Amino acid sequence: MHSKLNPLAGILTALTLVALAFGGTAQVQAEDQKADPSGTWTWSTPGRDGGTPRQSTLKLKVDGEKVMGTITSPGRQGSDPRQTEISDGKIKGDELSFNVVREFNGNKMTQKFHGKVAGDTIKGKMEVDRNGETQTRDWEAKRSTGDKSDNSDKSDKSDKK
């Protein structure tokens, strides 16, 4: 009876080791495929009272898990677009987060962006406190065609016009 259990125990041990090996390999591959949000991203938000949609442009650079960049939004009532530095930018796996702090009439407002990077799309939520109430809105940005971290030097020079 002892000889019949040994082959079965050996097969079970081998199968367990194979399963553990595949699980560990999948984990390493997932870590190697970290999302890269570098580049230029755009999205639109509906205009006030059914007006023309407002397009925003986000330029990002990554250094490890730190994300830096600027967001350009249309100015109010047809004024020139405003460019604002992002703060507290982070990427962990495919999770991106950053803040945009703007000042209006001496009051600071912080927009908190959170999203998932999947290829050339970022989908997430934007949160802002207005008059003591937190408002949340979905946002979805698309990467500009052919734009990744290698183009960051070009975009820096064009910003200095």
Is residue 147 classed as helix, strand or coil in its secondary structure?
Answer: coil
d(CA 152, CA 105): 33
* Residue pair 57/147 in contact by the 8 Å Cβ criterion: no
Architecture of domain 39-159: Beta Barrel (2.40)
d(CA 99, CA 69): 11
pTM: 0.68
Domain boundaries, the chain: 1-33, 39-159
In 33-98, which ranges are continuous DSSP H helix? none
Q: For every one of its 161 residues, what pLDDT tens digit does the chain have, with 9 covering 90 and above? A: 555 556 666 676 666 666 666 665 444 444 456 799 999 999 998 877 878 888 999 999 999 999 999 999 887 766 788 899 999 999 999 999 999 998 878 888 999 999 999 999 999 999 998 888 999 999 999 999 765 544 434 334 334 33
